[in-house]
């Protein structure tokens, strides 16, 4: 998405339901769901970061483009909010996906992931790279 792009959807025109915090793919089977319980960036030291609280791709659709596209849209949203980075807590089985997408595994100063989850940070260059990937997707109607 280009800076300033607004994401909109309607039940009849799009397979996605969108709000300021959550995007849900509504096709059968449902494809992906993501969201943050924080309605504005999280302040960590002098940085503004987007905290991704939930991201899931339907098991039948994992390993394809949907997960990459959804993460790219999330990165675009973080940049639109003026964030310098993004933090998330990954299930151990998904760490390879986040690392390949540009995430850095490891502790995050000022933020702690739940005990059984693996913390990841996406710095601004990784978010920008993901945003560029979202620009590669074209929806033809």
| pLDDT tens, residue by residue, 41-74 | 888 888 999 998 888 887 877 777 888 888 998 8
Give the C-alpha separation, 102 to 30, whole Å: 26
Give the C-alpha separation, 18 to 34, whole Å: 10
Q: Which domains does the chain have, with CATH numbers?
A: 16-136 (3.40.630.30)
pLDDT tens for the chain, residues 1 to 141 = 334 433 333 333 344 444 444 444 444 455 555 555 656 788 888 899 999 888 888 787 777 788 888 899 889 989 999 999 999 999 999 999 999 999 999 999 999 998 999 999 999 999 999 998 877 776 555
Instruction: Give the predicted TM-score (pTM) of the model.
Output: 0.73
Give the C-alpha separation, 26 to 42, whole Å: 29
Give the C-alpha separation, 20 to 34, whole Å: 11
pLDDT at position 103: 97
What is the 3 state secondary structure string of the chain?
CCCCCCCCCCCCCCCEEECCCEEEECCCCCCEEEECCCCCCEEECCEEEEEECEEEECHHHCCCHHHHHHHHHHHHHHHHCCCCEEEEEECHHHHHHHHHCCCEECCECCECCCCCCEEEEEEHHHHHHHHHHHHHCCCCC
């Amino acid at each position: 998405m280009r800076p300033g792009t607004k994401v909109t959807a309607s039940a009849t025109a799009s397979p996605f339901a969108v709000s300021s915090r959550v995007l849900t793919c509504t096709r059968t089977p449902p494809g992906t769901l993501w969201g943050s319980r924080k309605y504005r960036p999280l302040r960590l030291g002098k940085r503004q970061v987007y905290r991704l609280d939930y991201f899931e791709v339907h098991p039948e659709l994992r390993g394809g483009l949907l997960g990459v596209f959804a993460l790219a849209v999330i990165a675009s949203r973080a940049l639109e909010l003026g964030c310098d980075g993004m933090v998330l807590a990954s299930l151990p089985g998904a760490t390879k996906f986040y690392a390949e997408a540009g995430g850095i595994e490891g502790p995050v100063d000022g933020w702690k992931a739940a005990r059984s989850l693996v913390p990841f940070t996406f710095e601004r260059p990784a978010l920008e790279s993901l945003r560029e990937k979202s620009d590669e997707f074209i929806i033809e109607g």
